Amino acid sequence: MKNVRGIRIANGVANALFERRPIVALESTVIAHGLPKPLNIETARACEQAVIAEGAVPATVGIVDGAAVIGLSEEEIEVFADASVPGGGSIEKVNPSNLAAVMVRCAWGATTVAATMGIAFEGGLRVFSTGGIGGVHRGANESFDISADLTALANMPMVCVCAGAKAILDLPKTRELLETLGIPVVGYGTEEFPAFYSRASGLEVDISVATADEAAEVAALHWQSGGRTAVLVCAPVPAQFELSANEVERAIRQAIEEAKRSEVRGKALTPFLLSQMERLTGGSTLEANRALLVNNAGVAARIAKSLKRFM
Ligand code: PSU
Ligand code: MN
């Protein structure tokens, strides 16, 4: 293990960095707070395997005993999946605003898209894969709840592979903000901004690409021409796992009502809504969530390989 300013890079990842091999960063909030047991550990393993199968190195990121780790071990990933911190304590959801606080307390923390990207970028990684990014919540004009994921995407020149923004959000407002922040939105095998559980949203992408090489080329040109932001590569959920937009929308409205009744807001809102969606759809959102996470990890690995031509 190597220590870089509070960041610990696992040996396998450090070697890959040294040898300039492709690496894909993965987040841990989806493991600890996004998916139920035992699907969370199965999915975390499947994502790492999907990266390896494409010839890249997976690096799951999380806070372990106060250290920001790039490349969690299998045992550490199990702790995130089981919420079984050695010596007790819970696993906080960590975004950039509470990251240092969790590190100072020597606690464990599951990193969101935003926190994962920050740590991974600092460690020298340039490609990251998740399920759906956070964005502008419905009712944000009252609550001001806009995910720190968007701020991170605006500030980190990395490729972020996702299945669009989570459908529980206000997708048109999220799409507007991505444009405002100067973040290129690339459709991977789609002409539309995907809607997480379903493939279409009616919203535009800046460009549609068919291959990882094309996606890598868009990112390289963005950065070579003054872009300092992330490039958002959006791969729709595999067709056989797609849910109908109508079914999803009905469940989302109920889930949001439930959140209001239970007065859930802030960091707890996204995990709450995702678990309500599972309940309201009889678990079919979970199947879609798993499928898109694994698919994205493979796409990210291919892009990481291709990006090596430019770096
Ligand atoms: N994608 C998923 N499941 C998740 C998340 C993303 O398929 O649980 C997590 C990510 O970690 C993302 C976070 O960064 O939800 C967004 O939370 P918030 O809206 O509080 O910023
Ligand atoms: Mn929020």
Ligand nearest to the CA of 117: 1
Type of residue at 258: E
Nearest CA to ligand 1 atom 21: 147
**Buried/exposed code over 230-266 (b: 16+ C-beta within 10 A; e: otherwise):** bbbbbbbbeeebbbebeebeebbeebbeebeeeebee
Question: Which residues 6+ apart lie within 8 Å of 120 measured at CB?
Answer: 25, 59, 61, 70, 128, 158
% of the chain exceeding 90 in pLDDT: 97
Segment 42-48 shows an average pLDDT of 98
The question of whether 166 is a catalytic residue gets the answer yes
The pTM is what? 0.97
In whole angstroms, what is the distance from residue 190 CA to residue 237 CA?
11
The CA 129 to ligand 2 mean position distance, Å, reads 20
Ligand nearest to the CA of 265: 2
Residue minimizing CA distance to atom 20 of ligand 1: 267
Closest CA to 26 of 8, 1, 44, 5: 44
Q: What's the confidence (pLDDT) of residue 291? A: 98
Query: How many CA within 13 A on the CB side of residue 238?
Result: 15
Non-local CB neighbours of 192 within 8 Å, separated by 6+ positions = 199, 200, 201, 202, 203, 204, 205, 236
pLDDT digits (tens, 9 = 90+) for 141-150: 999 999 999 9
Is the distance from the beta carbon of residue 163 to the nearest atom of ligand 1 less than 6 Å? no
Q: Which of 54, 92, 166, 305 is catalytic?
A: 166
Ligand 1 proximity of 174 Cβ (cutoff 6 Å): no
Residues 152-193: tens digit of each pLDDT: 999 999 999 999 999 999 999 999 999 999 999 999 999 999
Nearest atom in ligand 1 to 162's CA: 1
Give me the mean pLDDT over the 5-27 stretch.
96
User: What percentage of residues in the chain have a pLDDT greater than 70?
Assistant: 98
Question: Which ligand lies nearest to the CA atom of residue 289 in the structure?
Answer: 1
Per-residue CA distances from 189 to 10, 200, 219 (Å) = 33, 12, 16
User: How sure is the predictor about 311, in pLDDT bands with cuts at 50, 70 and 90?
Assistant: confident
**What is the rounded CA–CA span in Å between residue 266 and residue 147?**
10
Q: What is the mean pLDDT of the chain?
A: 96
The finding on whether 285 has its CB within 6 A of some atom of ligand 1 is: no
Whether ligand 1 lies within 6 angstroms of the CB of 187 is answered as: no
Confidence label for 225 from pLDDT (cuts 50, 70 and 90):
very high
Is the omega angle on the peptide bond into residue 184 within 30 degrees of 0, that is, cis? no
Q: Residue 4: is its pLDDT beyond 80? A: no
136 lines ligand 1 (CB under 6 A): no
Reported confidence tier of residue 2, pLDDT bands at 50, 70, 90: very low
Three-class SS of residue 131? coil
| Segments making up each domain of the chain, as ranges | 2-307
- Which stretches does DSSP call E strand in 223-270? 231-234
204 counts as catalytic: no
Rounded alpha-carbon distances, angstroms, from residue 41 to 34, 74, 214, 217: 11, 10, 32, 33
Test site for ligand 1: of 63, 113, 137, 169, most ligand atoms within 8 A of the Cβ? 113
CATH class of 2-307: alpha beta
Question: Which of 306, 10, 4 is CA-nearest to residue 159?
Answer: 306
State which of 270, 275, 296 you would mutate to test the pocket of ligand 1, scoring each by most atoms of that ligand within 8 A of its C-beta. Answer: 270
Ligand 1: does its nearest atom lie under 6 Å from the Cβ of 149? Answer: yes
